[in-house]
Chain A
């Protein structure tokens, strides 16, 4: 069965420091992987996706993620965190050979401290 795990409920990082939000997945075959961000009282905003190709994917607002097939991970990273990056981050996976459904992780709350 497909699954996505975000092992940390919350990540705290100081402004200007690099940040990592972790995501691991379990899906047969080569997955489609996504990161979304949710600000308070807003919908989910698409950040980036991995479908195929280069394992390092660059997305919006300076975020990037690295697909690691051997570790079945897709961690979200940013070299220098901003206070405005504070939000709820969701990892999602879709089996390209299966259904259209996303499986979402439980979300990780990122808090960037000034």
Chain B
């Protein structure tokens, strides 16, 4: 199995631009999580999907952030418009049982 796949691995953009991060979970996993990691705040859960349905988005910082999971093999996290304080590493994780989570390699986002 290829594990959780995320793209792009690195993204540099300018303030105000739209950013879309992509995630392909491990096949057969029915739960998907988006996290953000910064030095100041550590790992923060942004949103959780179960069977493609958003269950809890209380960690999404503000309306500029949105996430979708149109099918079991694909999810996106969109930031529009982006701001410098959104600079972070964004991780996607999937789980077969809502217990053990398997993380992707992350997308390092830099907003100038």
Contacts and interface: CB of A to CB of B under 8 A. Distances in A.
A101 B48 contact: yes
Contact of B42 (A32, A36, A99, A104): A104
B42 to A, nearest CB: 5
Interface residues of B, number: 21
A45 B45 contact: no
A94 interface: yes
Contacts of B48: 100-101
Q: Classify chain A's interface size.
A: 20 to 34
Q: Which of B43, B45, B103, B108 has the most CB of A within 10 A?
A: B43
Interface of A: 32, 34, 36, 41-46, 49, 51, 90, 94, 99-102, 104, 106-107
Interface of B: 4, 31, 42-43, 45, 48, 50, 55-56, 91, 93, 98-106, 108
